[in-house]
Amino acid sequence: MLNQEEIENIVFEKAIDSFELKQIVERCAKQISKDYKDKNLAFLVILNGAFVFAADLLRCFDSACLTYFIKVSSYQGMQSTNQVKVSGLPEGVLEGKDVVIIEDIVDSGLTMRKLLERLQEEKVASLEVCTLFFKPENFKENYNIKYIGKAIENDFIVGYGLDFNDKGRNLADVYQRKNQ
Ligand code: IMP
Ligand code: MG
């Protein structure tokens, strides 16, 4: 069916279509462009999930900017570690920059908190977060998220870069796990 996707026997229903996603992305890009006029902006894209959002956001963004990509993991094997592991960040590139992190989704907020703590070491001029999706009911942290594309309910979603076991990132729309 057109409005459903099945991944590993789990049915997902279309929740946010590509038209709405485009509007969200354009709004975020416009806001950041306005806020960072004449600033030394560096986007920091969190792989893998944010790759589609970032590709669209950056192409809507019409001011000068630097773009970097990193991978963040807080797990080693099955063990959650106390520190996030950041890979792919060239040494010193963020120093003195106004950094905007581009993330696909902030859920409990733990991963982002650890990343923010880690980036304190980079001597950035300023640091803000732009997340496409945010789950307010799950969020347990105190830090501010300046740019939120869309607040959503506490359901698992896939598509537009977001995955379920690395599947579904290619879907142009966003699908939500159907209630059991
Ligand atoms: P946290 O709970 O905010 O630390 O979320 C960590 C990570 O879980 C996010 O960066 C996503 O990669 C993943 N995640 C959370 N919710 C979803 C979802 O609904 N779909 C796909 N991935 C998710
Ligand atoms: Mg992620």
pLDDT digits (tens, 9 = 90+) for 96-108: 999 999 999 999 9
Asked whether 110 lines ligand 1 (CB < 6 A), one says: yes
The angle, 0 to 180 degrees and rounded to 10, between the axes of the packed helices 51-60 and 18-35 is 60
Nearest CA to ligand 1 atom 10: 105
Asked whether 50 lines ligand 1 (CB < 6 A), one says: no
pLDDT of residue 1: 56
Residue among 105, 130, 163, 167 to mutate when testing ligand 1 (max atoms within 8 A of CB): 105
CA–CA gap between residue 94 and residue 91 (Å, rounded)? 8
Contacts of 35 (CB under 8 A, 6+ apart): none
For residue range 124-151, list pLDDT tens digits in order: 999 999 999 999 999 989 999 999 999 9
Is 107 catalytic? The answer is yes
pLDDT of residue 81: 60
Distance of CA 38 to the CA centre of its chain: 24
Contacts of 38 (CB under 8 A, 6+ apart): none
At residue 178 the predicted structure's pLDDT band, cuts being 50, 70 and 90, is: confident
pLDDT of residue 2: 74
